[in-house]
A and B are shown apart, each in its own frame.
Chain A
Amino acid sequence: MAVATPPAVELRGLTKQFGSVLANAGVNLRVEPGTIHGVIGENGAGKSTTMKMLYGIFPPDAGEIFVRGKKRIWKSPADAIAAGIGMVHQHFMLAGPYSALDNILLGAEPVRLGIIERKKARAHLETLARQYGLPVNLNQPVERLPVGVQQRVEILKLLFRDATILILDEPTAVLTPQETQGLFRHLKKLRDEGKTILLITHKLKEVMSITDRVTVLRDGRVTGEMPTARTNPQELANLMVGRKVVLSIDVPPSCPREGTALQVESLALAGVAGSRHKLADVNFAVKHGEIVGMAGIEGNGQSELLQAILHPRESRCRTSGAVRVLGQDVTTWHASRIRELGVAVIPEDRQHEGLLLERPVSENFLLGLQRSPAFSYAGFLRAAHVERTAAQAVDEYDVRPRELTIRAGQLSGGNQQKLIVAREFQRKPGLLIAAQPTRGVDVGAIEFIHNRIVRARDEGAGVLLISFELDDVLTLSDRILVMYEGRIVAEFLRGQVAERELGLKMAGS
């Protein structure tokens, strides 16, 4: 009789309440050793709460944690680390100016006679890096390493502490497609070397491509658990959202109308010598009634292009070239005047550029609209009217909770994005600029936002879509432009290009 190996991690009936919110309601989870186990769910489904209890950040109100068959009660993460559990947080916990080596040693310094044994640690780390295929320059200050390498440093940190169970919280949120591929190779290698990996994510594609088993959470409960091979993205999405979700909407072909909504002519940004922050001879136009998708890997000039269109007057945004919006040459205009033409913007970074996180929903609804005659009169705000319109919009755009006094920072990512969409569409846009419209947004909201963008197009707006998510670009765009190192290097019509070819163009070949 073979002795059954106990599961690497088993959670039984884990429950946690924050105030009136039941974050976890009896979560059961069983992770076999030597596997990659996906934990998937929408924002606020309770994934992070579960993992924080497993990692000892806070104790469960009820329920039990077993590690390799032994019941455990953590007093702090230190206990969990000692038991071989490690966690890579979504936002890395690294000290920027310190070298990779010092970051890894921090808190676990091998000390002999009061002196840190750097040499021995370095040798050990180099062995680990070779064994798991995680090359890192240990001498570089971490802040100068690319994000993908910083993540490797985080993983090495766990390996150095002899972690055998690795928790990765949304590890791909900050990575480019290439870096994501690299990470997945590392994770497979780690699994093959016997580590157990818990992958927390809300991206269905990732779960499908790398995990062995998957657990779905919704509203703090487990709604499904199965081997990845026996499920499909549609089933997982339905389990996550609790209703049938349309994963990829059918976009009817566009009928571009007369007139251009946006015309960019020989736009250039010199940038500092040697930096990637430049634009060179960017020319394109967006017609009314069409969606133009701008594909490209992050950092190839997309942010600069956005700034050059929206703040053309500022010299750090544009060196030469012209921008025409809705028939007007706006090159010397101030940003607010451009927006008043009827330009709606879904900003790249909604937390920093789209919202006042500490202010209530109603004030966020007003942001950028405060001077429009609908909401102010002779310099005074029409407060009652703002409240009324905001309430209507929150209703129409399904922002939850439907509460105008709640702070924007308390909304989930998807609902923050819906609030921004609701606000921007108040302008009845002639031009919509949507940057990363689905970044960090859950599947239900992605469907909603895609539909709204298509509807804006059908009502005659020109849409410029800038996204690192190829799915967005391929699903929505009537035309696709590829940006690489500050230039537009390729153009395709809808259906003319496959994901693979697009990926190659994005990588500059």
Chain B
Amino acid sequence: MRKLLQPVLAVVVGLALGLSFTWFAGENPWHVLRILGQSAFGSGYDLGMTLFYSTPLIFTGLAVAVPFQAGLFNIGAEGQLTLGALAAAVVGALWPRLPWPLAPVLAGLAALLVGTLWGAIPGWLRARRGSHEVINTIMLNFIAAGLASYVTLYLFQSPDTQNPETRAIGTGYLIHQFAIFGGAPVSTALPLAVITAFLMWVLLWRTVIGYEMRAVGQSESAARAAGIDAARVRILSMAIAGGLAGLVGVGEVLGNAGKFRLGFSPEYGFIGIAVALLGRNQPAGVVAAALLFGALHKGAADLDLETEHVTREVSLILEALIILSVSAEGLWSWMRRRGPS
């Protein structure tokens, strides 16, 4: 119970801090809160947009949380999701006539596979060459962005637009969108994300591999002494992480845009770090935290329009304060456990 209460409390404190900040900016905090709530949950469409933003955050949150359990910090979700989405769009552009349901399954697998490979690279570098995954994943983000630009602009650029986008995928690729959200692009990707989170829970807490991942994350020396191949576990964790991030492409390409748009992600990969942190690196926590950040993202977008003084930047500060307060809470409980011995 306490484990649940503390992050909730942290969110409340962060929100309070953020709202008092808007008060300094000259807004009535109560008013700001009401706009936030209405904009995130006020109508079927608003709720739909919140869920739409939450879906990729579930994937990227998991992409950070799962390797974190194995003691790895994946900052590369942004690159992994970019290439995953690109792969789905490329498959759709190359074979536009493929029929449903073969088409989306194939494109989804392509996103999964490319993400997995891209994630496995820093895992391999860490396990076999000893270079740190934080540096490598950051660098690979840049490489992924460059690659995506090249493939989009020079190989698959859509002739119908000036925007940097790939050609449209075939109609057989489009996955089901739920009608009840008033046109918001909530697709089958949402249940897929939730099921994936559940599968990750099973993986981490019910399987031998998950146990070995957590053992390596807790103490590499103890895992090694127990005969666990820490290098293999590391590579596997990062590969899984990459695959999870790659699945963002399902919602974006097959469930929303129908093509790959350069720069479609408002840094889902980085917000995923905060999502994992708030969700305590637990799959269920990640789902809940992704919903919260999805709501904040949607709500904050409207603050700019609906208030006089709160701009997009101020809403970013609001998000940042919540993240800070969550991490401060993590630090606090960590310090208490180390308390008087």
Q: Which of A310, A338, A340, A352 has the most CB of B within 10 A?
A: A352
> Are B225 and A370 in touch, CB under 8 angstroms?
no
**B residues in contact with A371, CB < 8 Å:** 208
Smallest Cβ distance from B7 to chain A, in angstroms?
A: 19
- Distance in Å from the Cβ of B213 to the closest Cβ of chain A? 11
The verdict on A28 contacting chain B, using a C-beta distance below 8 Å, is no
Distance to closest chain A CB from B240 (angstroms): 14
**Partner pick for B229 among A336, A354, A357, A383, CB 8 A cutoff:** A336
Q: Give A368 to B211 CA distance when docked, in angstroms.
A: 10
Our pick among B207, B221, B227 for the contact of A352 (Cβ within 8 Å) is: B221
Cβ-closest chain B residue relative to A359 = B218
- Cα separation A345 to B206 with both chains bound (whole Å): 26
Q: How many chain B residues have a CB neighbour from A under 8 Å?
A: 20
B215 & A356 in contact (Cβ 8 Å cutoff): yes
Say yes or no: A356-B208 contact (C-beta < 8 A), given A345-B225, A367-B226, A368-B227: no
Judge whether B222 is part of the interface by a CB distance below 8 angstroms.
yes
Question: B227 to A353, Cβ gap below 8 A?
Answer: no
The residues of A that contact B214 with a CB separation of less than 8 Å are: 359, 363
User: Which of B208, B221, B222 is within 8 Å of A379, CB to CB?
Assistant: B208
Within 8 A of B (CB), among A1-36: 18
* In-complex Cβ contact of B222 among A311, A353, A383 (8 A): A353
| Contact A383 B208, beta carbon cutoff 8 Å | no
Docked pose: A459 CA to B224 CA in angstroms: 28
Q: Tell whether A397 is near chain B: CB-to-CB under 8 Å.
A: no
Q: Mark B93-136, 1 if CB is under 8 A from A, else 0.
A: 00000000000000000000000000000000000000000000
B165 lies within 8 A of chain A by Cβ = no
| Distance to closest chain B CB from A470 (angstroms) | 25
Interface string of A281-324 (1 = CB under 8 A from B): 00000000000000000000000000000110000000000000
Chain B residue with Cβ nearest A356: B218
For the complex, give the distance between the alpha carbons of A503 and B207 in Å: 50
Taken together as a complex, chains A and B put the C-alpha atoms of A383 and B215 apart, in Å, by: 16
B219 contacts A by Cβ under 8 Å: yes
Task: Specify which chain A residues have a CB less than 8 angstroms from the CB of B340 in the assembled complex.
Answer: 18, 58
A355 touches B207 (CB 8 A): no
CB distance from A387 to the nearest CB of B (A): 13
Q: Is the interface of A mostly helix, strand, loop or mixed?
A: mixed
Which residue of B206, B211, B225 contacts A363 across the interface (Cβ within 8 Å)?
Answer: B211
Chain B residue contacts of A354, Cβ below 8 A:
222, 225
Q: Is B317 an interface residue (CB 8 A)?
A: no
Mark interface residues in B312-328 (1 if CB within 8 Å of A CB, else 0): 00000000000000000
Q: Are A380 and B222 in contact (CB under 8 A)?
A: no
**Closest B residue, CB atoms, query A52:** B340
| Contacting residues of chain A (25-60) with chain B, CB-CB under 8 angstroms | 58
Smallest CB gap from A423: residue in B = B226
A18 to B212, CA, bound (A): 35
How near does chain A come to B217, taking the closest CB pair, in angstroms? Answer: 9
Least Cβ–Cβ distance between B226 and chain A, in angstroms:
3
Contacts of A355 in B (CB 8 A): 219, 222
Cβ–Cβ contact A352 & B222, under 8 A: yes
Contacts of A370 in B (CB 8 A): 208, 211-212, 215
Interface residue? A366 (CB, 8 A): yes
Q: A439 interface residue, CB < 8 Å from B? A: no
Instruction: Decide if B218 touches A358 in the complex (CB within 8 Å).
Output: yes
Q: Are B211 and A383 in contact (CB under 8 A)?
A: no
Chain A residues in 8 Å Cβ range of B228: 336, 368
Query: Given A18-B340, A339-B227, A368-B226, are A383 and B206 neighbors across the interface (CB < 8 Å)?
Result: yes
Interface size on A, residues (CB 8 A): 33
From the candidates A338, A353, A381, name the one contacting B221 in the complex (CB within 8 A).
A353
Q: Does A204 contact B (CB under 8 A)?
A: no
Chain A residues contacting B219 (CB-CB under 8 Å) are 352, 355-357
Complex: chain B residue closest to A336, CB-CB: B227
Distance (whole angstroms) from the CB of B236 to the closest CB of chain A? 13
B17 at the interface (CB under 8 A from A): no
Residues of B with C-beta under 8 A to A353: 221-222, 224-225
A367 touches B215 (CB 8 A): yes
Question: Which B residues from 61 to 117 make CB contacts under 8 A with A?
Answer: none
Q: Could you tell me if B211 and A366 are in contact, using CB atoms closer than 8 angstroms?
A: yes
Q: For the complex, what is the distance from the CA of A439 to the CA of B229, rounded to whole Å?
A: 27
Contacts of B224 in A (CB 8 A): 311, 335, 353
| CB nearest to B221 among chain A residues | A352
List which B294-332 residues lie within 8 A (CB) of chain A.
none
Residue in B closest to A358 when the chains form the complex, CB atoms:
B218
Residue B209 is within 8 A (CB to CB) of chain A in the complex: yes
**Shortest distance in angstroms between B235's beta carbon and chain A's nearest beta carbon?**
15
Bits for A361-382, please: 1 = Cβ < 8 Å to B, else 0.
Answer: 0010011101100001001110
Interface residues of B in 180-223 (CB under 8 A from A): 206-209, 211-212, 214-215, 218-219, 221-223
User: Bound state CA distance, A310 and B221, in angstroms?
Assistant: 13
* Chain A proximity mask over B230-262: 1 for CB below 8 Å, otherwise 0: 000000000000000000000000000000000
Who on chain B is nearest to A349 by CB? B221
A334–B227 Cα distance when bound, in Å, is 8
A347 to B229, CA, bound (A): 17
| Residues from chain B with Cβ under 8 Å of A18 in the complex | 340
Q: Using an 8 Å CB-CB cutoff, how does the interface string of B135-178 with A read, 1 for contact, 0 for none?
A: 00000000000000000000000000000000000000000000
Contact A381:B208 (CB < 8 A) given known A356-B215, A356-B218, A358-B218: yes
Q: How far is the CA of A41 from the CA of B136 in the complex (A)?
A: 51
Query: A371 — nearest CB in chain B belongs to which residue?
Result: B208
- In the complex, what distance in Å separates the CA atom of A47 from the CA atom of B24? 54
Given A18-B340, A356-B215: A367 in contact with B222 (beta carbons within 8 A): yes
Which residues of B have CB within 8 Å of A368?
Answer: 225-228
Known A356-B215, A358-B218, A367-B215: A381·B229 in contact at CB below 8 Å: no
B206 engages A380 (CB within 8 Å) = yes
The distance in angstroms between the C-alpha atoms of A385 and B44, with both chains bound, is: 47
B contact set with A: CB distance below 8 Å: 206-209, 211-212, 214-215, 218-219, 221-229, 340
A-B pairs with lowest CB-CB distance, top 5: A336-B227, A368-B226, A353-B225, A356-B218, A335-B227
Known pairs A340-B227, A345-B225; list 19 more (Cβ under 8 Å).
Answer: A311-B224, A336-B228, A336-B229, A337-B227, A349-B221, A352-B221, A353-B221, A353-B225, A359-B214, A363-B211, A367-B215, A368-B225, A370-B208, A370-B211, A370-B215, A379-B208, A380-B207, A381-B206, A383-B206
Pairs across A and B, CB under 8 Å, 9 listed:
A336-B227, A336-B229, A345-B225, A353-B221, A359-B218, A363-B214, A367-B215, A380-B206, A381-B211
